[in-house]
Chain A
């Protein structure tokens, strides 16, 4: 069985950034931009590796459509357990729409013949959630989105997956292979990759790293029509100020304002096993009126 995993590195979300109002491109204020493989994509790769570990005799290939700088993330994929990575170099990612990315991926995937394509269901930056759908349409295979659980059915030609619906509802569907499966970040806990493992991949696994320099240029150029007309930054959130207690002394009030603290925080530490802690927490939430007790 051959499993393809589509990944794309994005700017690390934990770092403050500003969006250029002219181009709509996010820019980080760090000394150099910090990129990472988003959780969704890592979950997809982790699931692929787990399927391979369970089935044996399978191959996991990671694909990306990204500029040359993304190579670090691809080596990370190798360290995580991908057998091979394919780097489709696209030096103008800001002009490509989801459609273009899907077309490029489709072109590459058609050559490889995969039994299962795993993607993260939503990118961390644009958040359009479209590539998997486009890709499935282009490959003419079924697609399932927001997947929380993947099970290979015996015989290996069918798949049973659990989908995430609104308000905690779940749906179990079966689909035939090949298929495109877009996974949710709650699917699994991706394994930790040490820096040493990444270096080792860089050192020793150059032969598993394929660069595809042409496909991005030849495919979908007519669809490269994404232009940001205008970008409106969000209004800064209203900052709540709590007035100091007027009964306190002037010095205390001054201290209060300077420290920026709100009123005396209520603190309590819940101790015990997970079960006990959860029970105590529910008790507090009910007492404070955050959740209502169900009346039968």
Chain B
């Protein structure tokens, strides 16, 4: 009876441990033969991984070879642009969500200057405004919604939302960050030097550079020192939906609240979080370390991909000078 209990307990413990510490799945992609080496140009590596297929260019004794999902082709006598093409695809090394589109272009496309010098917005056939001034216009990545920062005819400042709502703000909006699916935004609200009642002799640099953050839920966070916490210290990630991050010196804030210390030598691109932000991985030149202490050494390519709605990291390594391996682990 005691033996059965111990075995059951061991199975439960192993199960719990496994759930929290999944060993990355390892697979050998290719083993370099004698005289073979991986090919790279001056500025990029001929190795692409878009989450579906892995493409490698190698150089052997008799020329160049391509290996596409394990299928080796060649030898090719010369290296040409078509072999170099995959380099451009290796842009998945950063966890930060980068919105599509160009802000200036969006402004020109949707904002109209009227004959009397006022501004209005025409978005998907609907008119918004008029406004005395428009300071910022940001379109969501799916181009289905916008947020604009406007000065109303009574000189009050407000955010204009594409759903028809307006939000009063007590400063100048210098930047709007949309979440990946556009359902949330953060506005950076800074010092209002256009306000009528300010006394220039009583303003100091700290006041001018300080700002607060206003979320689409109406939550106000801050103030932050603009000299220390810059625009690039605020970001959404590719994997965490509407959760957002601020780096304030060594501290990392999640949704405006204290969360964890920034890992040493890491920049914002190196932090990969699970969708609930409970698990994470930190990439660096010498390893990827997961929050369950799993380590994958020297990841030359880090790729994010989704399987059945779950985010995975795929890490390609060169081990023992010759084994090209791929590790896969859920975030």
Partners in one complex: no
